[in-house]
């Protein structure tokens, strides 16, 4: 690919937007991985890939990795990112989401949105003629999942057949890992306390997506059963953004699901530990695991930059064709 011109027809994802993991086919994921690998190896070759392009970033929630990687990604490819703080008021409160979308499409070339309600990004995409990327909603976190599996491909040299255990809350990250994993041949084993399982409709969607690859997710209530023999052990915070009011209660319910040395000892010897961050040290994971040589959490964080650059190129350059 010549980075200063639009990509050819073979380097375009099938979706116009990235709203959930359901938008990406296995072929799309392979395309993103291959482009991200090239971008990571030779970032300077893509310094003008999005020259003159403008990206609006709508954030209802705080962010370190997502905001920084999207802004750095756009700047390093010759574009510009505009941060729109919607923590107060929330998106749709000052003016309708439809009007926000129809204004932005006149000024910018793409929208990245980090919202509470998933319907907000759906409505943005439905009213904007430019690409919309989900940078996290309460339902999905597709950029995180795609980057995580890219990181695992780097580590293990393959994805299909990996034994992957997710321990904790059946939240947005869990949903995306199940869906994307199923398409890549990775069966995600999810262990949660009773009543905190991933949404049944998402679980069924992941099972349907994974049938052809024999990679249906499995649900457990015993973290040791889920982790036994796993090559990947993944956890996330017990109370997601917006659930802080329940943090104390959740800390008691989830205490047996802490990822510590005892739990990691039941995984494979070459098992890696993953966390999407930020981590609450001493809660969902101990320092001894998070800071160990098995932890690849900072590789995950770095790869958010390379994978999201690939996603932006594939979506935003396709708009120029």
Catalytic residues: 114, 141, 144, 236, 276, 304
Q: By the 8 A CB rule, do 164 and 181 touch? A: yes
Phi/psi for 234 (5° steps) reads -125, 140
| Residue among 177, 205, 204, 208 nearest 190 (CA) | 177
| Residue 248 parent element (H or E) | helix 247-254
> Which residues, 6 or more positions from 319, have their beta carbon under 8 angstroms from its beta carbon?
109, 110, 130, 131
Instruction: Determine how many CB atoms are found less than 10 A away from the CB of residue 150.
Output: 25
Strand order in the sheet with 272-275: 218-220, 187-191, 163-167, 232-235, 272-275
């Amino acid at each position: 690919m010549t980075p200063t011109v639009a990509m050819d027809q073979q380097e375009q994802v099938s979706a116009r937007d990235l709203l959930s993991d359901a938008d990406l086919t296995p072929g799309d994921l392979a395309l993103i991985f291959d482009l991200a690998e090239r971008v990571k190896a030779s970032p300077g070759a893509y310094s003008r890939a999005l020259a003159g392009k403008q990206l609006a970033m709508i954030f209802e929630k705080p962010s370190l990795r997502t905001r920084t990687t999207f802004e750095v990604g756009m700047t390093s490819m010759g574009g510009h990112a505009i941060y729109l703080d919607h923590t107060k008021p929330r998106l749709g409160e000052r003016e309708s989401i439809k009007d926000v979308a129809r204004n932005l499409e006149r000024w910018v070339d793409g929208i990245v949105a980090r919202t509470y309600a998933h319907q907000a990004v759906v409505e943005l995409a439905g009213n904007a003629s430019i690409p919309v990327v989900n940078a996290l909603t309460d339902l999905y976190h597709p950029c995180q999942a795609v980057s995580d599996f890219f990181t695992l491909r780097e580590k293990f040299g393959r994805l299909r057949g990996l034994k992957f255990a997710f321990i904790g809350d059946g939240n947005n990250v869990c949903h995306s890992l199940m869906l994307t994993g199923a398409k890549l041949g990775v069966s995600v084993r999810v262990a949660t306390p009773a009543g905190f399982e991933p949404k049944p409709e998402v679980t069924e969607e992941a099972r349907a997506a994974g049938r052809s690859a024999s990679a249906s997710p499995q649900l457990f209530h015993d973290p040791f059963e889920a982790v036994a023999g796993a090559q990947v052990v993944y956890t996330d915070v017990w109370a997601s953004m917006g659930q802080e009011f329940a943090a104390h209660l959740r800390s008691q319910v989830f205490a047996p699901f802490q990822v510590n040395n005892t739990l990691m000892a039941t995984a494979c010897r070459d098992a890696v530990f993953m966390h999407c961050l930020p981590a609450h040290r001493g809660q969902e994971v101990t320092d001894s695991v998070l800071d160990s040589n098995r932890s690849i959490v900072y590789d995950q964080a770095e790869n958010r930059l390379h994978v999201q650059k690939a996603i932006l190129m594939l979506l935003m350059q396709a708009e120029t064709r």
